[in-house]
Structure 1
Amino acid sequence: MASLMENYEQQYAVLTADITAKIGKLSNSHGVDKKTLVLDVERHMEEAQELLEQMELEVREVEATSRPRLRTRVDSYRAELGRLSEEFMKVRSPPFQDGFFGQDELFGGGESMKEEQKLRLLDNTERLESIGYQLPLGYRIAFQTEQIGSEILQELYSQRETIQKSRSRLREADAELGRSSRILSGMMLRSVQHRIILLCVAVVFIIVIIVGIYFTVSKYT
């Protein structure tokens, strides 16, 4: 984040230095040269404004502790650009004055108009090239975002499968516990039955012994 901000600041410094140099040349320029300088300054002004907007976006992403210091720097850059804009408007002459469309251009304006059209065409071409450079970057960002989203969806799907497997294992464990409980209950019931049977056998055996003793004693008396 810091290196990107420094890169923006370096580009801004180069642009403002170029703007300052071209504004200094405007007062001594006339005709086509002056129009070329005006177009260059306007283009650089737009680029500087875009850089300031990029800086403001980066300031919002930094930590809260560093944000006030970076915000102050961006505000100073914006104030500097406003000062350069005012200076440019003072030096720049309105149409039909100071040779911008002077007598030479009014009587031989065909060539001048062609030059102006060429300059505007070059300016538009540069803008299109700049947009063309930005489109692959936007495509790469969109592609990376799509990949990240796909990875997140795969991770969520994997976690969902893990949760479903855990639920299935819990159900199986619950079923096993139920079967074990039923088996233990059956074993306890059989154990009680065996004890009752043994008790009945013992009672019968005791009765048989008592009856035998009774008959034996009765026989000898």
Structure 2
Amino acid sequence: MATLIQSYEQQYSVLTADITAKISRLISCNEENRDQLSREILSNFEEANDLLEQLELESRSAGAGSRVGAYRVELLRVQDEYRAVVASHAAKYNIDNEIEDYEDWSGLADQQRMLLDNTERVERTGKTITEGYRLVLETEQIGAAVLQDLSVQRETIQRSRGRLRETDEQLNRSSRLLNSMVMRALQDRFVLSVVFVVLGGLGCLAIYFTVT
């Protein structure tokens, strides 16, 4: 694709150089050769326009930067130079056919200027669309990163909840164990109290029988 674009650009450069050379010859040629040379120049202009259209299509297909706008400006400059030469000869020799060709070409030049303006607007629109697409991609990437962060935070919260449940269960077991130990301690104290009471009663009985 790039080789084809370079080939079109080389053909365009050679063609514009040939047109410029023919315009220089047109200034000094005689009346007999001037009509044929003018037809050749007009045909070369049409061929140059076709080349620029093909170059623009290939550049868009390849997604590469295009210099078509600069080439069109250069072609318009050459056309203005040709019209100036034709107008000069028309004033000098009063050639009606040449004037008609010039007027026809003037209308074609206006169409080319309109096409150039449309091309520039299309390029600006394309750049705007590309910029908008880039912003959409950046927004999508940011959204994906945020979703990933939220997913990680959710997993962290779920793990924290799991650890909290485990801690709560351990506290419940510890509380039950502590309650059980307290109950056993109370039971032991009660048993000891009963033993002390019995021993005290037996001691009192022993003292009573000893005295009597």
**TM-score normalised to structure 1 length:** 0.51
Q: 2:94 aligns with which of 95, 98, 104?
A: 104
**Structure with greater proportional helix content:** 2
Note the aligned Cα RMSD (angstroms): 5.1
In structure 2, how many angstroms separate the alpha carbons of the residues matched to 1:140 and 1:104? 48
- Unmatched 5+ residue regions in structure 1? 60-81
1:187 aligned partner: 173
**Larger RCO: Structure 1 or Structure 2 (Cα < 8 Å, ≥ 6 residues apart)?**
1
The alpha-carbon deviation at position 12 of structure 1 amounts to: 1.8
CA–CA distance in 2 between the matches of 1:173 and 1:126?
A: 69
Structure 1, residues 40-84: CA drift from partner, whole Å, max 9, x if none? 56x959x6xx99xx9xxx69xxxxxxxxxxxxxxxxxxxxxx9xx
The answer to whether the 8 A contact 1:36-1:119 is kept is no
- Give the superposition deviation at 1:166: 4.6
Instruction: Letter of the 1:208 partner, please give it.
Output: V
In the alignment, which residue of structure 2 is the partner of 1:37? 41
What secondary structure, in the 3-state scheme, does the structure 2 residue paired with 1:30 have? helix
1:119 aligned to 2:77?
no
Do structure 1's residue 203 and structure 2's residue 189 form an aligned pair? yes
| 1:29-178 to 2 correspondences below 5 Å | 29-30=33-34, 33-34=37-38, 37=41, 96=88, 99=89, 101-105=91-95, 109=96, 111-126=97-112, 128=114, 150=136, 153=139, 156-157=142-143, 159-168=145-154, 170-178=156-164
Q: Which runs of 5+ in 2 are unaligned?
A: 66-73
Structure with max Cα Rg: 2
The answer on whether the counterparts of 1:31 and 1:101 sit within 8 Å (CA) in structure 2 is no
Distance 2:90 2:43 in 1: 13
Structure 2 contact 87–102 (Cα < 8 Å) conserved: no
Asked whether the equivalents of residues 95 and 101 of structure 1 are also in contact (C-alpha less than 8 Å), the reply is: yes
Q: Percent identity?
A: 5
**CA deviation after TM superposition for structure 1 residue 191, in Å:** 2.2
